[in-house]
Chains A and B, each alone.
Chain A
Amino acid sequence: MLVVEHLTKVYEDGTVALKDVSFTVEDGEFLVIIGLSGSGKSTLLRCINRLIEPTEGHIFWNGVDITQTSEAEMRRIRREIGMIFQHFNLVERSSVLTNVLTGRLGYLPSWWSLINYFPQAEKRRAMAALERVGIGDKAHNRADALSGGQKQRVGIARALMQEPKMILADEPVASLDPVLAHSILGYLETLNQEQNITVLCSLHYLDLVQRYATKVIGLRDGQLVYEGTREQIRNITDAEFKHIYGQEAQRLSVGG
């Protein structure tokens, strides 16, 4: 269970990215975070695995306050939290297999990396992860030879290597076309439903949100302005919509 309490982030230049945000995510939830660009979605996700240090507030992950842990402890916690990114963040010049294997680094002795050693068992695990996202045949291609959709599947496979209990997805489909978007979110939904992995995902398109979310929170200027269940987001009113996205916003839909 993830509990976020009074989370505030102020960047060094004085920008207030998050202001007193509190919410709770039960295990097995598919939580979608909505809001305009710059509303603090990315900052929120990165505070949860402390890629960004929160300024104030607490984040409890299964009872442990991860804002107070040491660096070494934080690395152990990060192993349980996978992350996928809008721009995939693959090492373009490395092979697909190596990219997937790097998801396992948190479990391996660090000096192995000096001789670029991965045990056979881990390589089999990586192949299995790639098979699961349907691109086992691309294992030995360079990552920059893949299409956008394939790259994001490599990103998911990398996260799967961590055997995560939770996946943070930072606008995972914003760089993809609608068909691919459904395919990627489909994978996340399968993981969510079959392995009970909690998913925290920021999304732009309302119909994708309505299709996949079991719970929704809305951010505006770093503040939590909306909290709703699956049923509530499917019946979102114009007033609520404009409260999240501003008065000039128009509801768009994406195909599929």
Chain B
Amino acid sequence: MAEKSTPLARPSWLQALLSLVVPGLGQAVSGAFSRGFYILLSVVTLSGLAVFAAAQRPRYPDYSLSFHAYLAFVAESAALLVFLLAIYWLVRRYAMRTEFARNAATPAFVVLVIIVLGITAPAMIDTVLSAAELKKLYALTSLLTAFVTVAIWAWNIFDAAHLRSSERAPGMGTFYMLLIAGILVLGTRIVQINPEKAIREYKDTGVILSRIVWPWKVAFDYSESELVATADIQAPCPPGATPPPVAQPKEGQPWVSVTPTCGALSKRDSTGKPIFGTLLSIKGGGFKPNKKVHIQWANPLGDAFTPRGFGPTDIPVGPDGTFTTQLYIPDVTIPSVAKGPQIHQLRIVQRGAAQFTGKLSKEMKLALQAMLESIMMGLMATAAGIVLSVPLSFLAARNLMSTLHTTTQGFVGGVIGLVGGAYLGKLAGDWLTPMVGGLEKAPILTFSIYLVLVLGLAILAYRLLGRALTSAAEHLPAPVSLGIGIAGMALVGAVVGYLLGLGYAHGILGITRGTEGAVAAAPHTALLGAALGAFLGAFWAWRLGTSTTIPIGQMIYATVRLILNIGRSIEPLIWAIMGVIWVGPGPFAGFIALTIHSVAALGKLYSEAIESIDPGPIEALQATGANRLQTIVYAVVPQVMPPFTAFTLYRWDINVRMSTIIGLVGGGGIGFLLIQWIHQFQYEQAGLAVWLITITVATLDFVSASIREKMV
């Protein structure tokens, strides 16, 4: 034998080469296909993520790295790795002759790697920082990503070289560790996690945060006692005008007297510097001593402002309650239509201390109202959710539905009865509801009448027709009843096929041919669908014959479960957006959203509770001759009461939580108020809303937990 197989001693250079070119190829060649596939997939994913992160540059100019820089990193770190490996190889080759060297080799190598990394990494970051003006974080993550990619590549070559088809493959621990590290590093970059920014910008947040955290000052009204004295001044002052009289001191009241009472307004030149008008001498008295008074100027329309820059505006009052000061008549923008002299007013205002009145502020009242709205929204949605989801949950319980079977004839009768009955109910409603005033005058009554008629007649017709056809099939000769079944199924199939055909034309052809093309094609596809449906229905009925049965229960179960799953997988906030489109912004939209989601969620939870009951009592009641309804009332309902209560409380809890934020998308309640206040930078008011939400949710948590503890 010329060649001796030495699997452990000799690495396979061919496999290593293959894996160097395409990661995982060497492994695949050696027979480990899935291993090779996973390696290739990982490398591709990691590179893809890196390229994606690099391509985010246009979206986040601050936080990205060009692809070239990334490639440069890969090349540089690969060179570094080769250098390190070369050193390792040299050490192993020449220095490991002695026992000591052999033992010390690995630790020494690790230390070497750390030293080299310590020296080179900052240098590389520095290079990049100065050259490409990138953020530090991005230089770091890019460097790490590049390292991990190269390390995985290198590991893959090493792994390929040592893989033998005859042996059990060694573990992939190193590979997984590297992969996870790479993904975490890239994740940091894509999610833009930036601790430095968080720390640096925290300082600026403090002020706003403190207003949100402790907003109670705006929750109340404060009365401000004010002492006010006024004096009329005419401006401008044309010759011959009769100026307002000079006010005289009054005993026991604040007063102000101004001379002259007629003068010219200040103006501003082109640079905005004031050209002063008439200087007024102001004297006043009757104010609280040793406090300041504040000067305001009111234009002819009565809008007051503080005339800064035309003299002192905050003047101390002497011990006798008087003061004197001087002020240029300020520049006042006067509407061009108001020509000629105008009467302005000088106001002297002395504010007392703000006094706590104990009354709630307007904002607090608004917030409380909105909070109540939210809580009621959650409550109503839960109530509506219970009413709608309980019947659905029985239809979605496998243990109750799987026993329901029907004959072909019964199925046909049922479907025709259901649709026909519903249509009859609608007709009856159209005839009946104008008598009570219609939708405008009596909306709830009208809605209830329609609901009762449509549902009632549909169910009635479903039962009657289903039974009639079933018993007809039993009593008529077999070929006739088979004929009924085939004809009926053909009819049902044709209707379904017709609808599917229409849907195909508008939904699928509409994409490629445009709306007009779809409309043109619709009649043909609908007829084709009807024909196909009729044929399939008839064929199915023929195959089933007269004896076998259709698992109608399973079909209803699957349909209801599908609807519930769709309803649940769309978030309440998305439903709220649809609700806002439907009925406009406000709590009603939020109610609709929460109700839909509650029905879906409760329906699933309830039906699972029904599925997990003890089947014994059901069996016992069936044995007594009780029918389906009686069995459900006396054997199922008592058993599901505790879980139903628990799930309802849980849902109520969720609904009130959701109702507080559903307003963010226009669903009404406190969330609506909160987002408005945040947009207006009214952080104290927003703080009030946050506090109310927190208090409500915490209270609710406590209440529902204690109720659940007692009841279940």
Judged by a CB distance under 8 angstroms, whether B623 is at the interface is yes
Judged by a CB distance under 8 angstroms, whether B625 is at the interface is yes
Residues of A within 8 A of B621 (CB): 102, 105
Residues of B within 8 A of A1 (CB): none
B614 to chain A, nearest CB (A): 8
Determine if A85 and B619 form an interchain contact, defined as CB atoms under 8 angstroms apart.
Answer: yes
Chain B binder among A71-79, A190-198, A225-233, A239-247: A71-79
Interface 1/0s, chain B 614-646, versus A by CB < 8 A? Answer: 101101111111110110011100110110000
A78 nearest CB neighbor, chain B only = B625
A239 to chain B, nearest CB (A): 37
Q: A83-B620, A85-B620 are in contact. Are A105 and B638 (CB under 8 A)?
A: no
Residues of B within 8 A of A155 (CB): 620
Determine if A51 and B624 form an interchain contact, defined as CB atoms under 8 angstroms apart.
Answer: no
Chain B binder among A25-33, A87-95, A174-182, A216-224: A87-95
Judged by a CB distance under 8 angstroms, whether B430 is at the interface is no
Determine if B639 and A105 form an interchain contact, defined as CB atoms under 8 angstroms apart.
Answer: no
Chain B binder among A13-21, A106-114, A131-139, A204-212: A106-114
Q: A114-B633, A116-B633 are in contact. Are A76 and B625 (CB under 8 A)?
A: yes
Q: How far is the CA of A116 from the CA of B616 in the complex (A)?
A: 21
Q: How far is the CA of A78 from the CA of B474 in the complex (A)?
A: 22
**Which secondary structure characterizes the binding site on chain B?**
helix
Residues of A within 8 A of B635 (CB): 91, 102
Interface 1/0s, chain A 137-180, versus B by CB < 8 A? Answer: 00000000000000000010011011000001000000000000
How many contacting A-B pairs (Cβ < 8 A)?
88
Interface size class for chain B?
Answer: 20 to 34
Determine if B641 and A106 form an interchain contact, defined as CB atoms under 8 angstroms apart.
Answer: no
Q: How far is the CA of A78 from the CA of B631 in the complex (A)?
A: 14
Determine if A91 and B629 form an interchain contact, defined as CB atoms under 8 angstroms apart.
Answer: no
Determine if A105 and B616 form an interchain contact, defined as CB atoms under 8 angstroms apart.
Answer: no
Determine if A89 and B634 form an interchain contact, defined as CB atoms under 8 angstroms apart.
Answer: no
Determine if B624 and A102 form an interchain contact, defined as CB atoms under 8 angstroms apart.
Answer: yes
Judged by a CB distance under 8 angstroms, whether A70 is at the interface is yes
Specify which of A49, A98, A161 is in contact with B634 (CB 8 Å cutoff): A98
Q: How far is the CA of A79 from the CA of B626 in the complex (A)?
A: 8
Judged by a CB distance under 8 angstroms, whether A81 is at the interface is yes
Determine if B627 and A75 form an interchain contact, defined as CB atoms under 8 angstroms apart.
Answer: yes
Determine if A90 and B617 form an interchain contact, defined as CB atoms under 8 angstroms apart.
Answer: yes
Q: How far is the CA of A179 from the CA of B630 in the complex (A)?
A: 35
Judged by a CB distance under 8 angstroms, whether A40 is at the interface is no
Judged by a CB distance under 8 angstroms, whether A103 is at the interface is yes
B471 nearest CB neighbor, chain A only = A70
Judged by a CB distance under 8 angstroms, whether A82 is at the interface is yes
Specify which of A98, A106, A111, A168 is in contact with B625 (CB 8 Å cutoff): A106
Determine if B638 and A113 form an interchain contact, defined as CB atoms under 8 angstroms apart.
Answer: no
A142 to chain B, nearest CB (A): 10
Which of A's residues lie within 8 Å of B, judged by CB? 49, 51, 70, 75-79, 81-83, 85, 87-94, 98, 102-108, 110-111, 113-114, 116, 155, 158-159, 161-162, 168
27 A-B pairs within 8 Å (CB atoms) are namely: A49-B623, A51-B619, A51-B622, A51-B623, A78-B622, A78-B623, A79-B624, A83-B623, A85-B620, A87-B616, A90-B620, A92-B614, A93-B639, A93-B641, A93-B642, A102-B626, A102-B630, A102-B634, A103-B624, A104-B624, A105-B634, A110-B629, A110-B630, A114-B633, A155-B620, A158-B620, A168-B623
Top 4 closest pairs, chain A to chain B, by CB: A106-B625, A89-B616, A105-B626, A89-B620
